[in-house]
Amino acid sequence: MKRRDFLAICGISPVLAPFGVRAQQAPPVHRIGVLMGYPEGDVQAQANVAALRKGLEHAGWIEGRNILMDLRWAGANPDSARTFARQLIELKPDVIVSCTNQVTAILQQETRKVPVVFAFVGDPIGSGFAASLARPGGNMTGFANFENSVGAKWLETLTEIAPKIRRAGFIFDPDAAPNVGFMHAAEAAAPALKLGFTALAVRDASDIERVITDFSTVQQGGLIVAPHAVTLGNRGLIADLAAKHRLPAIYGDRYFADSGGLASFGNNAPDQFRGAAAYVDLILKGAGPSELPVQLPTRFELVINLKTAKNLALNVPEAMLAKADEVIE
């Protein structure tokens, strides 16, 4: 029996048949790459990915139904990040979500075509990821974690929590433009607070152990730790060394306070990944990254670890406890 005759028996017009077949076809499946600048076992980084997934689900993007997600964990290793970036690009994703400046910079070197939505990066303009906040201008946009001025805020908050400190040591990665900007802002604020200031550059765990041990000989010293893949990946080590040498410390990310650090002042990272999901949604629906402005954080959290304060024999002023968004006891 000819196809035309069969369709006639079934009551289907041969002219309309192709349209009926097309109408039954499944919607296209989009591919999303995710490159994280943290190790896979990092509990807080897993929470960020969970927030991204939840945000995508809220927008109607379900893994296995209309999206595929390719997830890679680079840690703080730039060689791994480059290998994974190339793998993801070869998969021809519709968009890539990146996290940390190091990972985002490597992606930028590897592609100027695939849309990239970054989260939790510092100084996206100074880092070359965007021409301006309002008009990023390239294939990248996303969510910044801080402006440089937060370095001064960290220093001020540290003196409020630990009023007896007389010198601040600032731990940062000297190869990361945002970290350098944070450090200079803190350094500029130190004289008005009558504090000495020491810049403590680190690139790996051995540097961290060395600079904290050396700084511990300072009388009435305190630490500021800038967020970076190197410091976040070694947050347990930093918190342990600060406790060992009885150094009050403030951190730019609550992950540190959760890991035993004294206090943190920063934005909510899962919020940024929920925002990244909203931008991925817009890009999958046809928007270009150059059309989507880079977003600065609007909500900051002060977290104080009272258990750590007690171990340091530090009496945190009641005014600071009242000001805290969360007190870990």
Strand partners, 171: 200, 225
CA 303: distance to chain centroid? 18
The model's pLDDT over 137-159, given as tens digits with 9 standing for 90+, comes to: 999 999 998 889 999 999 999 99
Quick one: 225 and 85 in the same domain?
no
The whole model's pTM is what? 0.82
Asked if residues 133 and 127 have their Cβ atoms less than 8 Å apart, the reply is: no
Residues spanned by the domain of 163: 150-267+301-328
Give the per-residue pLDDT at 290.
Answer: 94
Residue 12 covered by a domain: no
State mean pLDDT over 103-108: 96
Give the per-residue pLDDT at 241.
Answer: 97
Q: State how far the Cα of 149 lies from the Cα of 154, in Å rounded to an integer.
A: 9
**Res. 2: pLDDT tops 90:** no
Give the per-residue pLDDT at 214.
Answer: 97
Quick one: 320 and 232 in the same domain?
yes
Quick one: 169 and 316 in the same domain?
yes
Angle value at C-alpha 301, between 300 and 302, nearest 5 degrees: 130
**Res. 4: pLDDT tops 80:** no
Quick one: 139 and 207 in the same domain?
no
Q: State how far the Cα of 328 lies from the Cα of 19, in Å rounded to an integer.
A: 61
Sequence length of the chain is 329
3-state secondary structure of 28: coil
Q: State how far the Cα of 136 lies from the Cα of 130, in Å rounded to an integer.
A: 4
The total number of structural domains in the chain stands at 2
The model's pLDDT over 13-42, given as tens digits with 9 standing for 90+, comes to: 444 445 444 445 667 899 999 999 988 988
Residue 18 covered by a domain: no
3-state secondary structure of 267: strand
